[in-house]
Amino acid sequence: MSGRVAGKKIFITGAAQGLGLAMAQACAAEGAKVALADINAAGADDRATAINDKYGAGTAFAYALDVTNEDHWVKALEAANGAMGGISGLVNNAGISSREGGIEELSLEGFRKLMSVNVDSVFLGAKHGIKYLAKNQPGSIVNVSSIAGLIANHTSPGYNASKAAVWLLSKNIALYCAKKGLDVRSNSIHPTFIDTPILDPIRNMFGKDEAEAKLGRQVPLGRIGKPEEVAQAALYLLSDESRFVTGAELKIDGGISAM
Ligand SMILES: NC(=O)c1ccc[n+]([C@@H]2O[C@H](COP(=O)([O-])OP(=O)(O)OC[C@H]3O[C@@H](n4cnc5c(N)ncnc54)[C@H](O)[C@@H]3O)[C@@H](O)[C@H]2O)c1
């Protein structure tokens, strides 16, 4: 089998739509087996079926997973390990944003929800996933942070804090694996506005065209990004092309952080 991730077995959270789905499709196209895990189990199932229709039965598998639930993680990883014959890549992609308001408006419950889905997920994924990656070296963990984990604004305290936590947790995991002598890398990716359903609240506020134009004007390259453009970055980090890259952050932001 040929392809940039040929023979890899990659577990991706939040893969029923958006960036996770684009990554699953890109990995399958480049020769990997993929496990699509999502709280939207029916969606993950449908997308896995479509990938199998395109690339052959046994390419994609689907799992119900709430990334905040430790029990779910243990079961989904074990099942995916059995189905794919191992796990060599883990993408902690599932995440949420919300209309938070400023720090005085956001409820503690809202803050905890963001931290739980965006950060507990990465903690649990690595905590329970590393043992599988260790058996399938070289292994790679890709954690989806955001440019909002590196640059703050005045209205997203929970999103800013949670994505910043993902950034440094990725480095912690990288050093932990290296110290253990494992050929398991951990890196974070930091997209800016990308065309997925996560932008729907903004589209609903201003209308699709106006919302995307408004967001695009904030980006030096003049537009929002495409899911495939983020998937290509994940593909690089999941492939052996990045064998010496760990503890790094890869910005896919059209230049926004250069300003
Ligand atoms: N699209 C962007 O503009 C953008 C920019 C920067 C970072 N990100 C990050 O990229 C990741 C993916 O975002 P997206 O744009 O594809 O969003 P999306 O809303 O389109 O998709 C998120 C997926 O995660 C799943 N999910 C949500 N909560 C879950 C849970 N508790 N357990 C399991 N699955 C759950 C959803 O069902 C959905 O399939 C997120 O971490 C997000 O913060 C997105």
> pLDDT digits over 46-87, tens only?
999 999 999 999 999 999 999 999 999 999 999 999 999 999
Locate the ligand 1 atom nearest the alpha carbon of residue 224 and give its number: 3
pLDDT-derived band at 172, boundaries 50, 70, 90? very high
Closest-CA residue to 90 (of 137, 135, 125)? 125
Find the mean pLDDT for residues 204-223.
Answer: 97
The verdict on the CB of residue 156 being under 6 Å from ligand 1 is: no
| Residues classed as catalytic | 159
Out of 12, 25, 38, 113, mutate this one to test ligand 1's pocket (max ligand atoms within 8 Å of CB): namely 38
75 class by beta-carbon count within 10 Å (0-12 exposed, 13-18 middle, 19+ buried)? middle
Cα–Cα distance for residue pair 34/49, rounded to 1 Å: 12
Cα–Cα distance for residue pair 151/163, rounded to 1 Å: 10
101 class by beta-carbon count within 10 Å (0-12 exposed, 13-18 middle, 19+ buried)? middle
The verdict on the CB of residue 133 being under 6 Å from ligand 1 is: no
Cα–Cα distance for residue pair 190/188, rounded to 1 Å: 7
C-alpha R_g of the chain = 17
Residue type, 184: V
Q: How many CB atoms lie within 10 A of CB 192?
A: 23
Ligand 1 centroid to 209 CA: how many Å? 21
Give the CA count within 13 Å in the CB-facing half-sphere of 28. 28
Give the CA count within 13 Å in the CB-facing half-sphere of 30. 20
Ligand 1 centroid to 91 CA: how many Å? 12
13 beta partners: 37
Find the mean pLDDT for residues 89-111.
Answer: 95
Cα–Cα distance for residue pair 6/142, rounded to 1 Å: 17
Query: What integer pLDDT is reported at residue 99 of this predicted model?
Result: 82
Give the CA count within 13 Å in the CB-facing half-sphere of 176. 15
Residue ranges and CATH numbers for the domains of the chain are 9-198+228-258 (3.40.50.720)
pLDDT tens digits along 1-45? 579 999 999 999 999 999 999 999 999 999 999 999 999 999 999
Ligand 1 centroid to 20 CA: how many Å? 7
250 beta partners: 189
Distance of CA 45 to the CA centre of its chain: 18
pLDDT tens digits along 103-145? 999 999 999 999 999 999 999 999 999 999 999 999 999 999 9
